[in-house]
Amino acid sequence: MIIDCHGHFTTTPAKVMGFRSKQIDHFKKTGQTYKEAPPVVTDEEIHSAITDGQLKVMNERGIDLTIFSPRAIGMDHQFGNEESNVIWAVYCNDLIHRVCKMFPKHFVGVCQLPQVTGVKPGKAIFDELDRCINELGFIGANLNPDPSGGMWTDPPFTDKDWWYPLFEKFVAHDIPVMIHVSGSCNPHFNAVATHYINGDTTAFVQFMMSDLFKDFPTLKFLIPHGGGAVPYHWGRFRGLAQELKKPLLKDHLLNNIFFDTCVYHQPGIDLLTKVIPVENILFASEMIGAVRGIDPETGHYFDDTKRYIQSSDILNDDQRYKIYEGNTRRVFPRLDAHLKAKGL
């Protein structure tokens, strides 16, 4: 089985993001929550969006199952207040749930959390997390390390008072968490080219500088986009950890941190698989996502990451199995139980 651990519902009908725009515009003008109900999305609209979008590409590329969450750049934690962001998160998560019910062989859900810049994670986030895991059957969550959208005004992951209550919830639910920023408010940072990679790399360094996994030995994080700049600068981070008197990174972090394969060229995948242990790599493509075009050097889509895994002369078949399926089932225990219940 080939499991894509990183997919977003990027083909929602236009009215979905249109509603978010109304929420944001209303809040900017009035400081109040937009009170109109979200637009109804019919089953037919969802079916069309998926069969003409993600599922079509999955079938073309031989991907069996996608771990699916709301559009990352549309989480928009940098805008609105807690009330409006709860409405938005519930609406988006319910759409994911409907996709998973409609296409149970092909999609399982991961939730968006109603984070708000400047607001400590608390009851609103805990309640939506509980609902998604306990009622909707989701198997994980996405966590924004920078709800301010590139301004980095909230405390880092090293701040126990701010983050530890939420980490306790993740552990209680036995779910892994994908680190994923949203849009950028900083004019220096293009969202998908700079802000995403900044977010991934910054989160890793914050984990490296902390003793988080002494306090939460079973907590697991997935750092997407190939780990940001981490694999390329692995020697730098190993050296910095040594200067900080931390254990070797393989002991300090690699029991708890994992990386996906959303790296859109063969040399990048080769670097990832040379530097990072195969046991810490999960297959992903993030399609239909940030980079949708065809690479003129290869004639294939940039985000067809299965081609890179298949073409690698570094990996053997057992290692490919771990990347495609085995590691993901190990990191996502609720997914493994879900598949075993289906006889898979």
Catalytic residues: 286
Q: Tell me how far apart the alpha carbons of residues 88 and 149 are, in angstroms, rounded to a whole number.
A: 17
Q: Are 227 and 192 in contact (CB under 8 A)?
A: no
Q: Tell me how far apart the alpha carbons of residues 325 and 91 are, in angstroms, rounded to a whole number.
A: 30
Q: Dig out the tokens for 167 from the structure.
A: 């980490």
Q: Dig out the tokens for 318 from the structure.
A: 């057992």
Burial of 147 (0-12, 13-18, 19+ CB in 10 A): buried
Q: Tell me how far apart the alpha carbons of residues 130 and 178 are, in angstroms, rounded to a whole number.
A: 17
Q: Tell me how far apart the alpha carbons of residues 200 and 165 are, in angstroms, rounded to a whole number.
A: 22
Strands of the 177-179 sheet, one edge to the other: 141-143, 177-179, 221-223, 257-260, 281-282
Q: Tell me how far apart the alpha carbons of residues 329 and 64 are, in angstroms, rounded to a whole number.
A: 14
Say how many C-beta atoms besides its own lie within 10 A of residue 25's C-beta.
12
Q: Dig out the tokens for 46 from the structure.
A: 């969802």
Q: Tell me how far apart the alpha carbons of residues 207 and 222 are, in angstroms, rounded to a whole number.
A: 12
Does the N-terminal peptide bond of residue 288 adopt cis geometry, omega within 30 degrees of 0? yes
Q: Tell me how far apart the alpha carbons of residues 92 and 111 are, in angstroms, rounded to a whole number.
A: 8
Q: Tell me how far apart the alpha carbons of residues 201 and 22 are, in angstroms, rounded to a whole number.
A: 32
What lies within 8 Å, CB to CB, of 201 at 6+ separation is 227, 228, 229, 230
